Amino acid sequence: MNPATAPRIRPNPRFRWLVPAALIFLSLVPIIAGAVRLGELSGGEIRPDNARFFDSPVPVLIHIPTVTLYLVLGAFQFVSPLRRGKRGRPSWHKVAGRILAPTGLLAALSGLWMAVFYDLPPLDGPLLLILRLVFGSAMVAFIVLGFIAVRRHNYVRHSEWMSRAYAIGIAQGTIVVVTIPWIVLVGPVTELTRALLIGASWVLSLAVAEYFIYRRAHGAEQKLRRSVQPV
């Protein structure tokens, strides 16, 4: 089936707003942590645990606002009625997308910048650095591929790449979901378990995105088959 012409699956309208609500809920912890860090940078005291942010504030001052905007605005890109424009006007999805692509790139690139140039804090080791380089670069690549797909009017591929990029971003919220049970059941994290839990959050978020991508493609195929069956 040509993905560009595949029929769209319409989710149950009752659940339409549940998706952005759940995604924003998942983002709350990193967003609040970011706001606290910004507050600290605008007049807090310099301590050994935050000195790296004061020494080089530019990337973190780019990172926190861009990740916040990316996660909150990005959550609404999954609402299908927002993709339809009215009376020749561009849709909400299109306008937001023009903001989100550069915002997502800045979020990932500033993260990569900090990963490479900041001194590693006590619980961050080389494994976490490698994972950040891999997933941060993948986020950049997925946004670029999503942008190329939309320029080619291949909206299915566009949605797939952008969903994968968003999954890498939202994994910052998934970290809380995987880390809290670990701490409760196993105990405090070490450098190794912290890196593995953060890596697992990225893998888990991407697996969920792949599941929805597969379900959508599979559902579209079944719908097409039913529509061409003789009556």
Longest dimension (CA), the chain: 74
Which tokens go with 178? Answer: 């995987």
Q: Is 54 in the site for ligand HEM (CB under 6 A)?
A: no
Among 8, 16, 37, 223, binds ligand HEM (CB under 6 A): 37
Q: Alpha-carbon distance 52 to 95, whole Å? A: 36
- Burial of residue 13, with CB atoms counted within 10 A of its CB: 0-12 exposed, 13-18 middle, 19 or more buried: exposed
Per-residue CA distances from 128 to 3, 7, 172, 198 (Å): 36, 41, 13, 8
Question: Mask: binding to ligand HEM, 197-226, rule CB under 6 A, as x and -?
Answer: ------------------------------
Among 20, 23, 26, 70, binds ligand HEM (CB under 6 A): 70
- Residue 71 touching ligand HEM (CB under 6 A): yes
CB of 73 to ligand HEM, least distance (A): 12
SS3 category, 195: helix
Q: What x/- string results for residues 104 through 143 when contact with ligand HEM is judged by CB under 6 A?
A: ---xx--xx-xx--x--x----------x--xx--x----
Contact track, ligand HEM, 142-171, x by CB under 6 A = --------------------------xx--
User: 123 near 191, Cβ under 8 Å?
Assistant: yes
**How big is the site for ligand HEM, counted in residues (CB under 6 A)?**
25
Beta carbon nearer to ligand HEM, 34 or 146: 34
| Type of residue numbered 116 | V
Q: Output the CA torsion sign for 25, 29, 35, 38.
A: negative
The answer to whether the Cα torsion of 104, 138, 199, 160 is positive or negative is: positive
Closer CB to ligand HEM, 105 or 149, in the complex: 105
Helices and strands in the chain, H and E counts: 7, 0
Out of 4, 21, 28, 33, the only residue in the binding site for ligand HEM (CB under 6 A) is 33
> Of 223, 175, 220, 184, nearest to 202 (Cα)?
175
Residue number with CB closer to ligand HEM (115 or 149): 115
Is the Cβ of residue 54 or residue 118 nearer to ligand HEM in the bound state? 118
226/220 Cα distance (integer angstroms): 10
Residues near ligand HEM, by CB under 6 A: 30, 33-34, 37, 52, 63-64, 67, 70-71, 107-108, 111-112, 114-115, 118, 121, 132, 135-136, 139, 168-169, 172
